[in-house]
Structure 1
Amino acid sequence: MSPDWATTITTVGGVAAALIGVVAGSLLTSRSERTHWARDKQIAACSAIVAESTRIQLALRRAWKLGDPVDWVPWNVALGTIWLVGSPAVVDAAARVDEVFWDCSDQFIRQVAPDEQSWGEARDRMETARLHFINTARLHIDPQRSRLTQVPVSRPPQPRLAGPEPEGAGAPDAA
């Protein structure tokens, strides 16, 4: 083989390898950008569910106490968005929040809930569903995240009242 052919073959091989590298790099970069874009959209959609579920819970309280109307449009937009970009587990968790709103809302919107205990039970159900959603979303976004035990914008855990313990009272049961 002549030196000119060897040079030509080496040059063509080098150009081909460079092109393959460029194409492979482009594909990997494109895939990485799509993955990053999708993750950002999922985080934004999950954040919207948390924000709107908080807003709806507070709006239901105002509807019951003050007769204010509840604007469901932003909540429905947040649900629609999570349906588009969320994983099945995240979508199911958002659906659970929505189910609790459906179960609880009518008595507060029509202002027929009998007492604060009714609100407390509904609030606890809403906050439990929101906490489940938050933990499901955190796990989907980053599996290394630990579970939370309290939702944002919720009633703080009730402190134990100070004072003398009744006779015979010891440490609380660990149940």
Structure 2
Amino acid sequence: MTTLIGVFVGSVVSRRTQDRHWVRDQVSATCARVLRESSGLLVDLSEMEASRPDAVPQGVVLPTTIDWRPWNEALSMVNLVADKEIAEAAHALDERIWRLHTMVKRGLAPEENWLVLRLDVESAQNNFITVARRQLSLAGDPLQRFSGRPDPDDPIWTS
């Protein structure tokens, strides 16, 4: 009898461990997808802004050239598998992307600098990374830097 109880308890514990690993793997893959798709959207927005015809004045809204399906699928996966904190960080990133998208569709005003505007989205990406690292990284240590790219006011951008 003791052997049967031991086998049963062992199988329950093993099943829980497998479930936790599966969930962790799903959340990790989903977070990676959010970062991949949000980075892709920044590239698409940059290209959309750079290709805006000079003949179209700022304020005139152009139709979007962006395929939002991959981004929306990534957000749906976050809503499905991630915990509340990760989902909220993804939603904050989504809001920042939408705000930048709206600005790009109407055309940037002369005083609006693309590199500065994208920092708002990158800040939300970095927050998402910080939240996800707390949950997924074994060490959970916060990062001090998220990229090696020079700051927007660095002379490299004007030379």
TM band (smaller chain): 0.7 to 0.9
Are 2:31 and 2:132, in contact at CA under 8 Å, matched by a contact in 1?
yes
Paired position in structure 1 for 2:38 = 53
Give 1:158 shift: 6.2
Structure 2 unpaired stretches of 5+: 53-63
State the shift of 1:66 in Å.
1.7
Amino acid at match of 2:96: V
2:113 & 2:154 partners in 1: Cα distance? 22
Counterpart check, 1:96 vs 2:102 = no
Indicate the residue corresponding to 1:127 in structure 2: 122
1:35 to 10, 20, 24: 20
Question: How far apart are the structure 2 equivalents of 1:134 and 1:62?
Answer: 25
Identity %: 30
What is the aligned partner in structure 1 of residue 136 from structure 2?
Answer: 141
Distance 1:53 1:39 in 2: 21
> Are the aligned partners of 1:131 and 1:148 in contact in 2 as well (CA < 8 Å)?
no
Residue 108 (structure 1) aligns with: 104
Matched residue count? 144
**Structure 2 length as normaliser, TM-score?**
0.82
Task: Tell me the equivalent position of 1:155.
Answer: 149
- Which of 80, 84, 92 aligns to 2:76? It is 80
TM-score for the superposition, normalised by structure 1: 0.75
Higher relative CO (CA 8 A, sep ≥ 6), structure 1 or 2?
2
Aligned counterparts of 2:152 and 2:3: Cα–Cα separation in 1:
66
CA root-mean-square deviation: 2.1
> Which ranges of structure 1 fall in alignment gaps of 5 or more residues?
1-15, 162-175
